[in-house]
């Protein structure tokens, strides 16, 4: 098994590494994007945005730690953060869309979560970007799980 | 049976690991570079825009009604948007006074209201009513000095403020009558409208002869003032 010939297992490990690496890329881009919005552009994050940050920012470090050396258990550690972050984001999207009334959310005071600071191409708002990021990270991690357990 | 897939040092050749590290570090560097470059572009563009806008909007900055300190013919106009309930405004107050002192005769300070905290518009009303009794600056000092007592949790509570205004020789009954005058309401509305037009979203915000601070801080304000003084009084 331990010859220089690449085995099938090596191949699936290779692609699992790539999947986690892509998840890390998305988490890093999201984190830097969030920091850009708040620290450079001066957009004040609402309460729900803060909760999403709490679940997105650590992914950058946890996923990176799982890459070197590659540790397939990274899925166990990163997926709970991703799932909870995804649920908060989904709730935020509902608030922004007006499905959930703002009054029952914790952001009625201070910065309203319903108000949208940016809107790209007419539909891409911050909560949508966040939902896309969490969804992709979750998807990549689930794929990783199947790659290594097969 | 293939449970033990993680960390098989032998299974991963040396070379791919090196490549992976290069890819990882490379992307980290690219991401950070994009961030820094973007931040640089954004702030320089914003500074450019706001400097131009502020110069164009000098009329918005220098309003007749604003409380002022310093000679009318001073060539350096310092305009401060402030919120009486804002902690940083309180911290800046002695610093601004020192600046005025060390450039005395050359600077004029205009204070503009930006009551962003909840309830702090009522404190502004008290300040304006005290102004009618010629006690604006003393009252402002007392308001700042006692700020932690009457603005718990960033919410201004006028009831907690009254006891701290007792020793200033103010006619408090008259203040309570005067503070709801429509012209005071108008002053606040005007200041808030100007703040919005000038893109003032946080307090304190300073403008020196129409120029905003390049970035926030004591040193930046001192430098901006010193530059303007050096230019106006060679």
> Which ipTM value was assigned to this complex?
0.77
A41-89 per-position pLDDT tens digit: 877 788 888 999 999 999 999 999 999 989 989 999 999 999 999 999 9
Are the C-beta atoms of residues A75 and A49 closer than 8 Å to each other?
no
Residue B5 is nearest to which of A35, A69, A148, comparing CB atoms? A148
Counting one residue from chain A and one from chain B, the pairs whose CB atoms sit within 8 A come to 66
User: Is there a contact between B24 and A67 if contact means CB atoms under 8 Å apart?
Assistant: yes
User: Is there a contact between A28 and B7 if contact means CB atoms under 8 Å apart?
Assistant: no
B8-45 per-position pLDDT tens digit: 444 445 567 788 889 999 999 999 999 999 999 988 88
Q: Per the domain annotation, does B200 fall within a domain? A: yes
Residues A119 and A125: their CA atoms lie apart, in Å, by: 5
> What is the predicted pLDDT for the residue at B104?
87
B43-71 per-position pLDDT tens digit: 888 777 766 766 777 888 888 899 999 99
Is there a single domain that holds both residue B63 and residue B153? yes
Q: Per the domain annotation, does B218 fall within a domain? A: yes
- Arithmetic mean of pLDDT, A91-111: 67
- Residue B193 CA, chain-centre distance (Å), reads 16
Is there a single domain that holds both residue B82 and residue B50? no
Q: Does B40 touch chain A (CB under 8 A)?
A: no
Q: Per the domain annotation, does B78 fall within a domain? A: yes
Name the more confident of A146 and A5: A146
> What is the predicted pLDDT for the residue at B109?
94
Q: Does B202 touch chain A (CB under 8 A)?
A: yes
Are the C-beta atoms of residues A89 and A125 closer than 8 Å to each other?
no
Domains of chain A (ranges, CATH numbers): 9-149 (1.20.1550)
Is there a single domain that holds both residue B46 and residue B138? no
Q: Nearest-CA distance from B122 to chain A in Å?
A: 18
Tokens of B47: 């500074």
Q: What is the CATH number of the domain that holds B177?
A: 3.40.30.10
Q: Per the domain annotation, does B227 fall within a domain? A: yes
B183-198 per-position pLDDT tens digit: 999 999 999 999 888 8
HEC states along chain A?
CCCCCCCHHHHHHHHHHHHHHHHHHHHHHHHHHHHHHHHHCCCCCCHHHHHHHHHHHHHHHHHHHHHCCCCCCHHHHHHHHHHHHHHHHHHHHHHHHCCCCHHHCHHHCCCCCCCCCCCECCCECHHHHHHHHHHHHHHHHHHHHHHHHC
Q: What are phi and psi of B77, to 5 degrees?
A: -100, 115
Is there a single domain that holds both residue B95 and residue B160? yes
Residues of chain B contacting A72 with CB distance shorter than 8 Å? 5-6
Residue B20 is nearest to which of A10, A17, A71, comparing CB atoms? A17
Residue A32 is nearest to which of B17, B31, B202, comparing CB atoms? B31
Residue B32 belongs to what domain range?
13-56
Q: Nearest-CA distance from A3 to chain B in Å?
A: 8
Is there a single domain that holds both residue B20 and residue B95? no
User: Is there a contact between B11 and A69 if contact means CB atoms under 8 Å apart?
Assistant: no
Q: Per the domain annotation, does B30 fall within a domain? A: yes
Q: Does B14 touch chain A (CB under 8 A)?
A: no
Per-residue pLDDT at A107 exceeds 50: no
Q: Per the domain annotation, does B2 fall within a domain? A: no
Look at chain B and report how many structural domains it folds into: 2
Is there a single domain that holds both residue B71 and residue B146? yes
Q: Per the domain annotation, does B6 fall within a domain? A: no
> What is the predicted pLDDT for the residue at A123?
67
> What is the predicted pLDDT for the residue at B200?
85
Residue B6 is nearest to which of A2, A14, A72, comparing CB atoms? A72
Q: Per the domain annotation, does B21 fall within a domain? A: yes
* pLDDT confidence band for B226 (50 / 70 / 90): very high
A9-48 per-position pLDDT tens digit: 777 888 899 999 999 999 999 999 999 988 888 777 888 8
> What is the predicted pLDDT for the residue at A27?
96
Per-residue pLDDT at B1 exceeds 80: no
Is there a single domain that holds both residue B81 and residue B70? yes
Is there a single domain that holds both residue B92 and residue B197? yes
> What is the predicted pLDDT for the residue at A108?
39
Is there a single domain that holds both residue B51 and residue B95? no
Q: What does pTM read for this prediction?
A: 0.64
Residues B222 and B228: their CA atoms lie apart, in Å, by: 10
> Taking an 8 Å Cβ-Cβ cutoff, which residues of chain A contact chain B?
1-2, 4, 7, 9-10, 13-14, 17, 21, 24-25, 28-29, 32, 35-36, 39-42, 64, 67-73, 148-150
Residues B66 and B79: their CA atoms lie apart, in Å, by: 10
């Amino acid at each position: 098994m331990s010859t220089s010939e690449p085995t099938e297992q090596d191949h699936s490990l290779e692609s699992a590494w790539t999947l986690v690496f892509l998840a890390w890329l998305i988490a890093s881009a999201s984190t830097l994007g969030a920091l850009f919005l708040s620290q450079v552009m001066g957009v004040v994050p609402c309460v729900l945005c803060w909760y999403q940050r709490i679940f997105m920012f650590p992914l950058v470090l946890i996923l990176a730690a799982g890459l070197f050396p590659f540790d397939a258990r990274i899925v166990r550690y990163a997926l709970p953060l991703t799932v909870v972050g995804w649920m908060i984001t989904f709730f935020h999207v509902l608030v922004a869309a007006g499905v959930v009334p703002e009054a029952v959310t914790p952001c009625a005071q201070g910065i309203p979560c319903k108000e949208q600071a940016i809107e790209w191409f007419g539909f891409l708002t911050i909560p949508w970007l966040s939902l896309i990021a969490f969804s992709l990270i979750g998807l990549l991690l689930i794929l990783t799980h199947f790659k290594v357990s097969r | 049976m293939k449970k033990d897939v993680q960390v098989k040092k032998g299974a991963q050749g040396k070379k791919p690991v090196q490549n992976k590290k290069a890819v990882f570090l490379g992307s980290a560097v690219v991401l950070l570079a994009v961030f820094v470059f973007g931040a640089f572009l954004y702030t320089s563009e914003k500074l450019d825009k706001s400097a131009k806008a502020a110069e164009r909007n000098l009329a918005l900055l220098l309003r007749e009604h604003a409380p002022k300190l310093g000679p009318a013919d001073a060539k350096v106009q310092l305009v401060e948007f402030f919120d009486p309930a804002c902690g940083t405004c309180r911290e800046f107050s002695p610093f601004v006074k020192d600046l005025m002192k060390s450039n005395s005769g050359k600077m004029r300070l205009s204070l503009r209201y930006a009551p962003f905290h909840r309830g702090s518009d009522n404190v502004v009303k008290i300040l304006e009513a005290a102004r009618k009794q010629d006690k604006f600056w003393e009252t402002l000092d007392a308001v700042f000095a006692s700020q932690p007592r009457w603005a718990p949790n960033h919410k201004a509570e006028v009831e907690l403020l009254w006891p701290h205004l007792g020793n200033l020789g103010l006619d408090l009954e008259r203040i309570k009558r005067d503070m709801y005058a429509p012209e005071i309401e108008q002053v606040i509305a005007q200041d808030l409208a100007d703040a919005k037009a000038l893109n003032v979203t946080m307090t304190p915000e300073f403008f020196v002869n129409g120029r905003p601070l390049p970035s926030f801080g004591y040193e930046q304000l001192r430098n901006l003032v010193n530059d303007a003084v050096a230019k106006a009084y060679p």
